[in-house]
Structure formats: C-alpha cells, structure tokens
Amino acid sequence: MYEQHGGGKLLRDGKNFYRIGVREPANVEKILDSEGQLAGLRLKMKPEIEAGLADGATIRQQARATYLAICLGMAGEAGRSGKIPEAAGYSVLQVPWARR
C-alpha cells in the first residue's frame, strides 16, 4: 500500500522503516461555506426558537429563544411578529450593538 502512494519500506541498520509518501492535503467531507452553515443552523433552530417564544414558555425559555434569534440574525423576524415579549428581552433588541 505504501508503494502505491509514493512510500516504501527501508532496511537501515537491521531495522525496518517505512517511508510514507507526501500527499496534497484535502478535505474528507465537503465543507459548507459560512452562509450555508448559517442557513442550515437557522433551519435547524427555528422550531426551538418558535417553541421558546410560544405562549406558556417560561421566562428562561423565552430568554434563550430571544438570544438564539439574535445570534442567528432572526430577531427582526421574531420581533416584528410580536413573538419576542418585553419580559424575555425585547428591549435588548433595541440596543445599538444588536442592530445590523
């Protein structure tokens, strides 16, 4: 197998050594660009965010959902729909660092 990829077996001072051929590094799996990863994460987290902003969710669940919505750039969508209540941190969306 080593010979097939540019390597080989050496005998030096009565000891066996294996030389492994140098190959160009490459990804084993296709890596999505950052926009693709973000879109996939938004799709995956949307049901969890919606559940955290639904009626009957605890303040902690609402706060977590609000935080996730902000981090994923979905806060404007959730805020316009009225799903982010004041108690869960809607006022956080009004600070300058949270705006895009």
Its pTM stands at 0.52
Average pLDDT over residues 17-25: 82
Band of pLDDT at residue 7, cut at 50, 70 and 90 = confident
How much is the pLDDT for 98? 45
And the tokens for 35?
Answer: 């926009």
- Encode burial over 82-97: b for 16+ CB neighbours within 10 A, e otherwise: ebbeeebbbeebeeee
The residues, any chain, with a CB within 8 Å of residue 9's CB and separated by 6 or more, are 2, 16, 17, 18, 19
What span, in angstroms and rounded, lies between the C-alpha atoms of 31 and 40?
A: 12
**What's the rounded mean pLDDT across residues 41-60?**
88
For residue range 57-83, what is the model confidence (pLDDT) as tens digits?
Answer: 888 888 888 889 888 888 776 555 555
Contacts by residues 38-44 (CB-CB < 8 Å, ≥ 24 positions apart)? 38/72, 38/73, 41/72, 42/72, 42/73, 42/74
